[in-house]
Amino acid sequence: MSTSFYDLINVFVFTLVGTAFVGIVLFVSKLVRCKNPSPEKLAPYECGNKASGEARPQTQIRYYLFALLLVVFDVEMIFLFPWGVAFRSLGLIALVEVALFIGILLLGLAFAWRKGALKWQ
C-alpha cells in the first residue's frame, strides 16, 4: 500500500491554496486599512498590562534537556513505527526483538531519571 504521487497531489494543492490564502488576505487588508501608528498602538499587547522585558528572554537549561530527550525518542519512534504497521504478520520473535530494543532505551530513561534529569525543580 505505497502511496503514489497522485494520491498526495491534493495535499500539495491544499498547502498551496492555504499559503496563498494567508498571503492574499494579508495583502488585501494592507490595501484597505488605514495606517496611523502611535507608540501606544505599536506596543505589544500583554493582557492589558504594560509589557515588560524582551520578547525572547533566556530560557532555562531544563527545556533544552527535554528537547534533547524528545529527539532521542523521536528517532526511537521511527524504528518502532514500521514494526507496528507489520505487527500482525510478524509474530512473537519480532515482539521479543522490539522488547529488547525498547528495554535498552528504557535503561537510558532510567539513567536520566536517576540523575534527576526529569525532575522539574
Partner 1 sequence: MSGPELVVFSLLGLAGVGSAVAVVSGKDLFRSTLFFGSFLLSVAGLYFTLEASFVGIMQIFVYVGGVVVMILFGIMLTQQEGARLNASLERRLTVAGPVALLAGILIAAIMTTSFKTVREVPGVDIATLGKLFTNDYVLPFEIVSVLLLAALVGAVVVAKEREK
37 vs 82, beta carbon nearer partner 1: 82
Q: How many angstroms separate the CA atoms of 10 and 74, rounded?
A: 27
CB 58 within 8 A of CB 73: no
Q: φ, ψ for residue 45 (rounded to 5)?
A: -90, 125
Segment contacting partner 1 (CB under 8 A): 24-32, 37-45, 69-77?
Answer: 69-77
Binding mask 26-65 for partner 1 (x = CB under 8 A): ----------------------------x-xxxxxxxxxx
32 vs 107, beta carbon nearer partner 1: 107
Binding mask 81-120 for partner 1 (x = CB under 8 A): xxxxxxx-xx--xx--xx-xxx-xx-xxx-xx--xxx---
Q: How many angstroms separate the CA atoms of 52 and 69, rounded?
A: 32
How many C-beta atoms lie closer than 10 Å to residue 49's C-beta?
7
Q: How many angstroms separate the CA atoms of 86 and 10, rounded?
A: 27
Q: Is 24 in the site for partner 1 (CB under 8 A)?
A: no
Q: Is 10 in the site for partner 1 (CB under 8 A)?
A: no
- Grid cell digits, residue 111: 539513567
CB 98 within 8 A of CB 81: no
Binding site for partner 1 (CB under 8 A): 1-5, 8-9, 11-12, 15-16, 54, 56-65, 67-72, 74-79, 81-87, 89-90, 93-94, 97-98, 100-102, 104-105, 107-109, 111-112, 115-117
